[in-house]
Amino acid sequence: MVRNLIAYLDSVKSRDPAPRSRAEILIYPGVWSLAFHRVAHRLYRLRLFFLARAVNHFSRFLTGNDIHPGARIGKRFFIDHGFTVIGETAEIGDDVTLYQNVTLGGTDPANGIAGKRHPTLGDGVIVGSGAQVLGPIVVGPRARIGANAVVTKSVPEGATMVGIPARQMLVDVTAYQREFLPYGTVCSECPDPEKQKIEALRAEVEQLQRRLTSLLEQRATPGPESLSFEERDRA
């Protein structure tokens, strides 16, 4: 058990440059919220729902993170800072990192039956601060969700998603191959597809404006056919 705890603390330290020691990590709210969730989840599986909820609410009061007891969370899960919300049917793989103010939210089932309403995150997923991952979608292993992105569709393995609604970005291979990418921000200089479309439209509008100006100038200049016989003779 001690060995597993040390391995977990080391995994957190490898993702966060701020702590100077393992002891400092032990007082992280994300670490405590995960510990409380392990207890609440066991109670939930024993169908002791009230006790599970009580542990959940106590954890939220202390840490600011609201993790439903029914959520299934893998190994070495880390919430950096806090104020994260994780729904009941969310499933989280190993080595997943969430930053502050992330929501793994659900959708309201039309039939009223509590089925799969929340997302599934694969191993090694990184979700940036303020991101919203909504509905019973699947975020593939090693995917990155940028800050404040809103994800409502499944994400391919290794993809980087940004924007509202989230769209996939191209990532330089040297950045993609890095072991860990803090905050999931790997393409600050990547071309934005929406911006590229706007630039293309702007260029097309400028081209049309130049063509229209040329046509108006031609119309303003009288051609030979519009001159009288005397004007033609003088010309």
Q: What is the CA radius of gyration of the chain?
A: 28
Is this structure's pTM higher than 0.75?
A: no
Strands 132-134 and 150-151: parallel
Angle (CA) 28-31-35 rounded to 5° is 140
Residues 6+ apart with CB under 8 A from 146: 128, 131, 160, 161, 162, 163, 166, 169, 184, 185
Range in 76-85, 123-132, 219-228 with the lowest mean pLDDT:
219-228
Give a three-class secondary structure readout of 74-123. Answer: CCCCEECCCCCEECCCCEECCCCEECCCCEEECCCCCCCCCCCCCCEECC
The CA distance from 166 to 82, in Å, is: 22
- How large is the average pLDDT for residues 43-69? 94
Residue 148: DSSP 8-state: T
Query: What are φ and ψ of residue 9, in 5° steps?
Result: -60, -40
Tokens of 204: 């097309």
% pLDDT > 90, the chain? 45
> What integer pLDDT is reported at residue 163 of this predicted model?
84
- How large is the average pLDDT for residues 13-19? 86
> What integer pLDDT is reported at residue 202 of this predicted model?
83
- How large is the average pLDDT for residues 119-147? 92
> What integer pLDDT is reported at residue 49 of this predicted model?
94
> What integer pLDDT is reported at residue 112 of this predicted model?
46
Nearest to 120 by CA among 79, 94, 89: 89
> Average model confidence (pLDDT) for the chain?
83
The CA distance from 144 to 178, in Å, is: 12
The owner of tokens 């630039």 is: 199
> What integer pLDDT is reported at residue 46 of this predicted model?
95
Q: Which whole-number Å values give the CA distances from 139 to 44, 198, 228, in the listed order? A: 25, 29, 76
Indicate if the pLDDT at residue 86 is higher than 90.
yes
Number of other CB atoms surrounding residue 19 within 10 Å: 15
Indicate if the pLDDT at residue 73 is higher than 80.
yes
The CA distance from 135 to 235, in Å, is: 77
Indicate if the pLDDT at residue 223 is higher than 60.
no
Strands 160-162 and 167-169: antiparallel
Give a three-class secondary structure readout of 182-218. Answer: HHHCCCCCCCCHHHHHHHHHHHHHHHHHHHHHHHHHH
**Range with top average pLDDT, 17-21, 56-60, 115-119, 175-179:** 56-60
